[in-house]
C-alpha cells in the first residue's frame, strides 16, 4: 500500500498547498453566479412550486463546482507531469495501474467534495435550503466527482500539451455542464431541447443531486442513479484500459 498512499498523498498535497487558487477561487465564482442570477431572474423564474429560484440554483452550482474541479485535478496533474517529464517517476515504482487510477480519482473526489462543501456552506447564508435526502446527495456527489476524475485522467492521458487539454475542457466539459440544467429546469425548454438534454449525462448528475435537496426532479431519481452508475463503470473501465496499455504515457 505504500506506493499507492504516497501517490495519493502527493495528489492531495498538490491541490491543497494552493487551496486559495484551487478551492477558494471556485467558491467565490459560485457565489457570484448565485448573486447575479438570483437578483436578475429570482422574481421572474419559478421552477418548482415550493422552491424559490435562488434555492433551486444552489444544488446546481454545488454540483457544477464538484464536476469542474474533479476534472481539473486529475487532468492538470497528468498533463503537467507529461510536459515536465516527471511522469517517469510515477511509472517506474512498483505501483499497479489500478492503484494509479484509484490514487488520482480519490484525490479528484477530495478536491471536488472540498469545493462543493465550501460552495454549499457559503451559499446557504443567501437562501433557505433544506436537504430532504442526504443519502442521495452524498451518493451523487461521490459518484459524479469520481466520474469527472476518471474523465480528467482520460483527457490528461490523451492530451500532449496544455492547449489540447484546454480545448477538451472548453469544448466538452464546459458546454455539457452549462447545458445540463444548472440554471434552469429542462421542463422550461421546448420539447426538442428537452429530449436532447436527456442525452447529456451531466443532466442526470445535477438532476439526481438536486433531488436529494428538494425531493423533486425533472427525471426519475432511479433513472439518474442508473445513468450515473453506468457512466462511472464504463469510464473507469476505459481509463484502466488506457493505463494498462500505457497509451501516451510510455514513449
pLDDT, one tens digit per residue, over 200-211 is: 999 999 999 999
Are 108 and 149 contacting, i.e. CB atoms less than 8 angstroms apart? yes
For residue 241, pLDDT over 70 is answered with yes
Rg of the Cα atoms in the chain: 18
CA–CA gap between residue 232 and residue 137 (Å, rounded): 17
**What is the per-residue pLDDT for 1?**
64
Element (H, E) at 98: helix 97-123
**Which of the four pLDDT bands, split at 50, 70 and 90, describes residue 130?**
confident
**What is the per-residue pLDDT for 44?**
64
Diameter of the chain by CA atoms?
A: 59
Q: Tell me the per-residue pLDDT of 43-64, one tens digit each, with 9 for 90 and over.
A: 666 677 778 888 899 999 999 9
11, with CB counted inside 10 A (0-12, 13-18, 19+), is buried
- The residues with which 48 forms a beta bridge, in sequence order, are 51
* Choice among 91-95, 173-177, 234-238 with the minimum mean pLDDT: 91-95
- The residues with which 51 forms a beta bridge, in sequence order, are 48
**What is the per-residue pLDDT for 74?**
96
**Which of the four pLDDT bands, split at 50, 70 and 90, describes residue 229?**
very high
CA–CA gap between residue 151 and residue 239 (Å, rounded): 8
Q: Tell me the per-residue pLDDT of 151-171, one tens digit each, with 9 for 90 and over.
A: 999 999 999 999 999 999 999
For residue 218, pLDDT over 80 is answered with yes
**Which of the four pLDDT bands, split at 50, 70 and 90, describes residue 42?**
low
Instruction: Please state the rounded mean pLDDT for residues 74-83.
Output: 94
For residue 40, pLDDT over 80 is answered with no
Helices (H) and strands (E) in the chain, counts: 12, 0
Residue tagged 467558491 (cell numbers)? 27
**What is the per-residue pLDDT for 43?**
64
Average per-residue pLDDT in the chain?
A: 91
Among 11, 29, 35, 212, which Cα is nearest to 115's? 29
**What is the per-residue pLDDT for 135?**
96
Q: Among 33-37, 72-76, 80-84, which range has the highest average pLDDT? A: 72-76
Percent of the chain with pLDDT over 70: 97
**Which of the four pLDDT bands, split at 50, 70 and 90, describes residue 3?**
confident
For residue 12, pLDDT over 80 is answered with yes
For residue 41, pLDDT over 80 is answered with no
Residue 95: how many CB atoms within 10 A of its CB?
16
Among 191, 188, 194, 179, which Cα is nearest to 48's? 188
Amino acid at each position: 500500500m505504500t506506493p499507492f498512499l504516497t501517490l495519493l498523498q502527493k495528489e492531495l498535497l498538490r491541490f491543497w498547498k494552493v487551496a486559495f487558487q484551487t478551492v477558494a477561487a471556485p467558491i467565490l465564482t459560485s457565489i457570484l453566479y448565485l448573486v447575479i442570477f438570483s437578483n436578475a431572474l429570482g422574481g421572474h423564474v419559478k421552477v418548482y412550486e415550493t422552491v424559490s429560484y435562488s434555492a433551486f440554483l444552489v444544488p446546481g452550482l454545488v454540483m457544477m463546482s464538484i464536476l469542474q474541479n474533479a476534472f481539473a485535478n486529475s487532468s492538470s496533474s497528468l498533463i503537467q507531469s507529461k510536459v515536465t517529464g516527471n511522469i517517469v517517476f510515477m511509472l517506474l515504482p512498483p505501483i499497479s495501474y489500478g492503484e494509479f487510477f484509484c490514487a488520482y480519482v480519490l484525490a479528484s473526489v477530495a478536491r471536488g467534495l472540498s469545493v462543493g462543501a465550501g460552495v454549499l456552506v457559503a451559499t446557504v447564508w443567501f437562501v433557505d435550503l433544506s436537504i430532504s435526502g442526504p443519502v442521495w446527495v452524498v451518493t451523487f456527489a461521490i459518484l459524479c466527482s469520481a466520474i469527472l476524475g476518471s474523465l480528467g485522467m482520460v483527457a490528461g492521458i490523451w492530451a500532449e500539451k496544455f492547449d489540447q487539454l484546454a480545448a477538451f475542457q472548453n469544448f466538452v466539459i464546459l458546454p455539457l455542464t452549462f447545458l445540463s440544467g444548472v440554471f434552469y429546469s429542462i421542463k422550461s425548454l421546448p420539447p426538442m431541447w428537452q429530449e436532447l438534454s436527456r442525452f447529456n449525462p451531466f443532466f442526470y448528475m445535477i438532476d439526481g443531486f438536486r433531488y436529494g435537496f428538494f425531493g423533486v426532479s425533472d427525471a426519475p431519481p432511479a433513472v439518474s442513479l442508473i445513468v450515473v452508475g453506468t457512466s462511472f463503470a464504463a469510464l473507469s473501465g476505459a481509463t484502466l484500459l488506457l493505463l494498462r496499455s500505457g497509451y501516451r504515457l510510455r514513449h
